[in-house]
Structure 1
């Protein structure tokens, strides 16, 4: 192995050409809580509860601006929020199975509901948001079990051509893993797949885990969380790191990331792998975009437009 490249300390400016909203996303973030040791169940529960509590007020402010009808459903062994945004056409058959982010340990329950409402608002589509089980109480494969259960339940009332599967960050891991497992179990795959800056390599082997470390203001290595989630399983297993799976036959896929995203390599490598397997895949990169992207900004609206165009094409706008 080569010696690598030593980069001297330097300041990386926030580009002046970004919108004011986007520039705020690139401000340094507060100090992150230290990770507990992998075997400290109580410590991890306290960690997740503390981070979720810190996020919740902001998320409630967002949800106050969203208008949707929400029902909580049991979908097989999984819990989902069935969300219909205000103004959605009653006869529209298409539906999005949305898998929330949160490092495979955060954003369940109420936060899952709010994040699903956000997806419904941005797309104008009915959404099933999967409130999957998470560590420390429920490590792998509980989350993937819940996602496959929700997908099976959705297939009972919808043809695969009516379904889009979407996941961001940790949800992107589970969305891609869902494709592999559904195919392995003989289920038809959906009409389209959305992977927003997906956490699809739990080994963190990509170049941007080094080049964007400290540059992405809101994300650091999640290796301790990855090990907690895997619960002793091999991190290279495709159900844990879908980047290493056989993606032959995947549905049309749209992938999004940004040049400052810690998961830039994940997204770029997955795009190239899909293209090599002759999957119709498109990659959209936001200049200076961090892992969160730029929600609520003109730059974020451009990505939303691309995603909605993709959804309409994949569903035939049913």
Structure 2
């Protein structure tokens, strides 16, 4: 090879080397953290157990949120910092009333008050008619509310968008909750409704979903019907929730990230040795690690679950439990999918007006449409 050809190759390579060096400099300036000097120690403190103590931090809203999403999170954080407000006689928190009014206005759905299998329930039917492919299908919505309330507030916000946008019938049972009732009352009620629906629908034509406590109840219901020898529904949706309990809420990293960033709440300190985790009134006396309460801890139970969709968000105190439960289902050989939304708090789906919620509704509808039999 001649000297001229070598020089020509070097000349052609030089601009690329300069570009690569420039990109490396930008990446280094963007991502690298300067090493702490002796005069400026790191502000983070880590003990021998790996517990981290952080200094005060300034955390902006996610740049990936829509403008509507940013406005919602800012409003949500400011409202929750002051407290969630009063709850009326219909189980509707003050902060939820605006979302309810919007949902009732934009989703053309009829609500019927009835009893199914001896359980008080609401049936939501689209006034524009059920789509032809959904005439032999039905969804069961298990509302959120911490196993202690939010009927019908959470029921409306979880059922109206799905029934209206999907043009499918949704049944939402008013299952028993604490403190008047205790586990397994809710599982028994949902099973009674399911038994009744099985008289009119094939198992594969029924889907079940819920948010927060309702998402947890979906898993407990699926474990309960295994015990009862009933067939699985066609598919399940576990939203804003996991399938096991933590020392605080659902546990995991999300307790210490989701609570402050999503709900403007300071998480409690980690439990000391010998301390017991607080228990919801509904679960007093129950085995919180048993297969009927925490299916995520029991691979043999999970292995019999139907196709399952998880949905959570990066500022939700439930995301660790959702990620863990999804991983355990996959390891158990179940067809499961995990959907996460950026920068949003626990239960963001209750605001029906932000683009991220609309995306969630369509994701739910696509999932059930692809898994329920026709």
Q: TM-score, normalised by structure 2?
A: 0.74
Aligned residue for 2:261, secondary structure, equals coil
Aligned residue for 2:326, secondary structure, equals helix
Query: Matched residues in 1 for 2:335 and 2:92: separation?
Result: 36
Q: State the match for 2:292 in structure 1.
A: 239
Per-residue CA distance 1:105-161 (angstroms, 9 max, x = gap): 121146534542233124321101111121121222222211111111111111001
Aligned residue for 1:26, secondary structure, equals helix
Query: Matched residues in 2 for 1:233 and 1:55: separation?
Result: 32
Distance 1:109 1:306, change over 3 A: closer
1:132 to 157, 169, 175: 175
Cα contact 2:203–2:232 (8 A) shared by 1: yes
Cα contact 1:81–1:116 (8 A) shared by 2: no
Deviation (angstroms), 1:64: 3.1
Cα contact 2:326–2:338 (8 A) shared by 1: yes
Q: State the match for 2:45 in structure 1.
A: none
Q: State the match for 2:219 in structure 1.
A: 176
Cα contact 1:71–1:82 (8 A) shared by 2: yes
Asked whether 1:212 is paired with 2:269, we answer no
Q: State the match for 2:49 in structure 1.
A: 2
Query: Matched residues in 1 for 2:364 and 2:259: separation?
Result: 27
Per-residue CA distance 1:254-282 (angstroms, 9 max, x = gap): 11111111100111011101100110111
Equivalences for 1:1-318 in 2 at 5 Å? 2-27=49-74, 28=77, 29-31=79-81, 52-55=92-95, 57-58=97-98, 59-89=100-130, 91=132, 92-109=135-152, 112-113=155-156, 115-203=158-246, 204-217=250-263, 224=278, 226-245=279-298, 246-293=301-348, 295-316=352-373, 318=374
Deviation (angstroms), 1:216: 1.5
Q: State the match for 1:37 in structure 2.
A: none
Cα contact 1:257–1:293 (8 A) shared by 2: no
Gaps of 5+ in 1: 35-45
Q: State the match for 1:38 in structure 2.
A: none
Deviation (angstroms), 1:219: 7.4
Deviation (angstroms), 1:33: 5.4
Distance 1:221 1:212, change over 3 A: same
Greater helix percent: which structure? 2
RMSD of aligned alpha carbons: 2.6
**After alignment, is 278-287 or 89-98 more displaced?**
89-98
Length, aligned pairs only: 305
Distance 1:228 1:13, change over 3 A: same
Cα contact 2:81–2:263 (8 A) shared by 1: no
Structure exhibiting the larger radius of gyration computed from Cα positions: 2
Deviation (angstroms), 1:200: 2.7
Query: Matched residues in 2 for 1:133 and 1:103: separation?
Result: 12
